[in-house]
């Protein structure tokens, strides 16, 4: 239906709520980071996979069309009804990169190599209430190995994660990959006689170790604890013989992997699943060592609790350990930028068959923020050389100058706005962050020369000196027309 111009008011030019636009360096910096990560994944034998943004709601799984609003959490809609009867399918935008992997692994299970190592990078969508810094479209960057039950796959992911962090510029010593194992926790829960229905609650309390300390957690696990406001937090109701293995687990991190593993063996006691978990961690430690990844880069650390509820075997988390200043100028650790682990049932929903899988996901926005905070995002945010237009009739001459510069690899453009007001051209060059402007009026053309203006120096002088002084400064030089490229190149090399 064509728009009725008389009735329809002008549409609002607004990014929809919860979404954002990325301009210039926003795009190139993220791309450069993801390219470096992809190169590391490729080197490790991982293959890219790009599924479409849209999946059937049925395949996505968590969200079913038999409720009133199937799009809780996802953006979903129903296809048109099928001609001749039958309701249309429900489709939805993917909310992560794992659900599409599950669908692909099931659909192409006879064609894909097994194990299947794949990486995926791209936007995902969440139909959630937007908030400050919380967007409804954001990037994920995942690597998964589907079809391998061996912890060699987990060790490889941890090593690859460390390599990827260094590839994007995080220095050794500024990050640590911490590794734990759900099976060890299960062993400890067994050793502590924790009922299955208590497990989640126990996990939640253990996760507060950082905040309330070991004794605080012991109180929370037993009789309860007064919080800072004086309010009483109810305890889980365990007795001291039960808390003992839990506290041993929480505090089992030793001076090195060997000591940690010994402490963990003690903590799991006679539990078989616990012993299996410790063995797996020992194997991972050996393999990391063989992969050339020292304990300064990836280390066994039982304090990694986040994700333990979801994963079924090894879990890992990458943390940036350097300090940055938060919004209020206070120093704080940057924190987690990636996590992953082993999970079951990836393909099972589709085929009924259990397929072991392990994967890692890098928080793209957080890692990019970290690189920016450290001045490592690395993209050249300088604009192009701007060839200004003094004489509208000589556009071809100006185009030729820009083409000559580009032919030698120098980013350059001709001013394409209305050239009447020269001040506007310089304002434009400033907005473009142009380092150099090229100027040739009729007089210069007659003399066969060009003026080359150093806009970076110009801006500095302008900030420091008066307008009159600035005009006489050497931020502008004259060069013969045939020396244009050399003169610009020399000026660009100043900065």
Q: How far apart are CA 468 and CA 423, in angstroms?
A: 16
Residue 179 is classified by DSSP as E
Is residue 332 part of an annotated ligand binding site? Answer: no
According to CB under 8 A, which residues from 17 to 46 bind its own copies? 19-24, 26-28, 42-45
According to CB under 8 A, which residues from 414 to 473 bind its own copies? 414, 416-418, 428, 431-432
Is residue 325 part of an annotated ligand binding site? Answer: no
Q: How far apart are CA 102 and CA 63, in angstroms?
A: 15
According to CB under 8 A, which residues from 309 to 348 bind its own copies? none
Binding status of residue 134 toward its own copies by CB under 8 A: no
- Beta pairing class for 385-387 and 412-414: parallel
Q: Select the span of 112-120, 179-187, 191-199, 361-369 touching its own copies (CB under 8 A).
A: 112-120
- Torsion angle of the four alpha carbons 203, 209, 214, 218, in this order, in degrees rounded to the nearest 10: -30
Binding status of residue 382 toward its own copies by CB under 8 A: no
According to CB under 8 A, which residues from 207 to 266 bind its own copies? none
Is residue 96 part of an annotated ligand binding site? Answer: yes
Q: How far apart are CA 200 and CA 438, in angstroms?
A: 67
Cβ atoms within 10 A of the Cβ of 329, count?
6
Given strand 385-387, what is the order of strands in its sheet? 412-414, 385-387, 436-439, 449-454, 476-480
According to CB under 8 A, which residues from 290 to 309 bind its own copies? 290-292
CB of 488 to its own copies, least distance (A): 14
Binding status of residue 403 toward its own copies by CB under 8 A: yes
Binding status of residue 172 toward its own copies by CB under 8 A: no
Q: Which is nearer to its own copies, 81 or 469 (CB)?
A: 81
Binding status of residue 113 toward its own copies by CB under 8 A: yes
Strand partners, 439: 451
> Which residues in 273-283 are b (16+ Cβ under 10 Å) and which e?
bbbbbbbbbbb
Q: How far apart are CA 284 and CA 311, in angstroms?
A: 16
CB of 408 to its own copies, least distance (A): 10
CB of 192 to its own copies, least distance (A): 29
Q: How far apart are CA 181 and CA 268, in angstroms?
A: 12
Binding status of residue 110 toward its own copies by CB under 8 A: no
Is residue 51 part of an annotated ligand binding site? Answer: no
Q: How far apart are CA 41 and CA 119, in angstroms?
A: 7
Is residue 144 part of an annotated ligand binding site? Answer: yes
Q: Select the span of 221-229, 261-269, 300-308, 393-401 touching its own copies (CB under 8 A).
A: 393-401
* Nearest alpha carbon to residue 278 among 191, 363, 386: 191
- Annotated binding-site ranges: 96-98, 126, 140, 144, 306, 310-311
- Annotated binding-site ranges for L-histidine: 96-98, 126, 140, 144, 306, 310-311
């Amino acid at each position: 239906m064509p728009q009725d111009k008389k009735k329809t008011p002008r549409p609002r030019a607004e990014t929809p709520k919860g979404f954002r636009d990325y301009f210039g360096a926003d795009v190139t910096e993220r791309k450069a980071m993801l390219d470096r990560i992809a190169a590391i994944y490729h080197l490790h034998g991982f293959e890219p996979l790009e599924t479409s943004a849209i999946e059937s709601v049925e395949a996505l799984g968590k969200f079913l069309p038999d409720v009133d609003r199937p799009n809780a959490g996802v953006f979903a809609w129903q296809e048109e009804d099928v001609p001749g009867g039958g309701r249309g399918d429900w489709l939805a935008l993917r909310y992560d990169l794992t659900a599409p992997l599950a669908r692909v692994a099931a659909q192409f299970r006879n064609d894909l190599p097994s194990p299947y190592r794949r990486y995926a990078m791209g936007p995902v969508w969440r139909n959630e209430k937007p908030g400050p810094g919380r967007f409804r479209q954001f990037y994920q960057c995942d690597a998964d190995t589907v079809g391998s039950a061996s912890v060699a796959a987990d060790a490889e992911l941890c090593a690859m994660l460390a390599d990827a962090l260094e590839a994007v510029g995080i220095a050794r010593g500024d990050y640590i990959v911490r590794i734990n194992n759900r099976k060890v926790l299960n062993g400890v829960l067994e050793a502590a006689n924790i009922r299955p229905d208590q497990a989640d609650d126990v996990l939640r309390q253990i996760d507060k170790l950082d905040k309330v300390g070991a004794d605080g957690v012991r109180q929370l696990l037993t009789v309860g604890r007064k919080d800072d406001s004086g309010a009483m937090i109810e305890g889980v109701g365990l007795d001291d013989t039960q808390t003992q293995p839990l506290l041993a687990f929480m505090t089992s991190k030793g001076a090195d992997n060997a000591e940690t593993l010994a402490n963990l063996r003690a903590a799991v006691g006679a539990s078989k699943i616990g012993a299996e978990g410790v063995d797996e961690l020992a194997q991972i430690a050996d393999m990391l060592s063989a992969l050339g990844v020292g304990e300064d880069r990836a280390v066994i650390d039982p304090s990694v609790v986040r994700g333990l509820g979801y994963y079924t075997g090894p879990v890992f988390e990458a943390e940036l350990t350097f300090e940055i200043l938060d919004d209020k100028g206070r120093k704080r650790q940057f924190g987690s930028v990636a996590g992953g682990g082993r999970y079951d049932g990836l393909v099972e929903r589709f085929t009924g068959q259990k397929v072991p899988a392990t994967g890692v996901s890098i928080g793209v926005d957080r890692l990019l923020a970290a690189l920016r905070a450290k001045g490592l995002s690395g993209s050249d945010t300088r604009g192009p050389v701007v060839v200004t237009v003094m004489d509208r009739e000589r556009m071809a001459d100006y185009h030729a100058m820009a083409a000559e510069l580009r032919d030698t690899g120098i980013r350059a453009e001709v001013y394409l706005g209305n050239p009447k007001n020269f001040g506007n051209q310089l304002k434009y060059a400033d907005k473009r962050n142009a380092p150099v402007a090229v100027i040739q009026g009729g007089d210069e053309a007659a003399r066969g020369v060009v003026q080359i203006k150093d806009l970076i120096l110009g801006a500095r002088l302008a900030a420091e000196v008066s307008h009159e002084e600035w005009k006489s400064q050497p931020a502008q030089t004259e060069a013969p027309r045939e020396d244009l490229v050399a003169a610009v190149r020399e000026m660009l090399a100043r900065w």
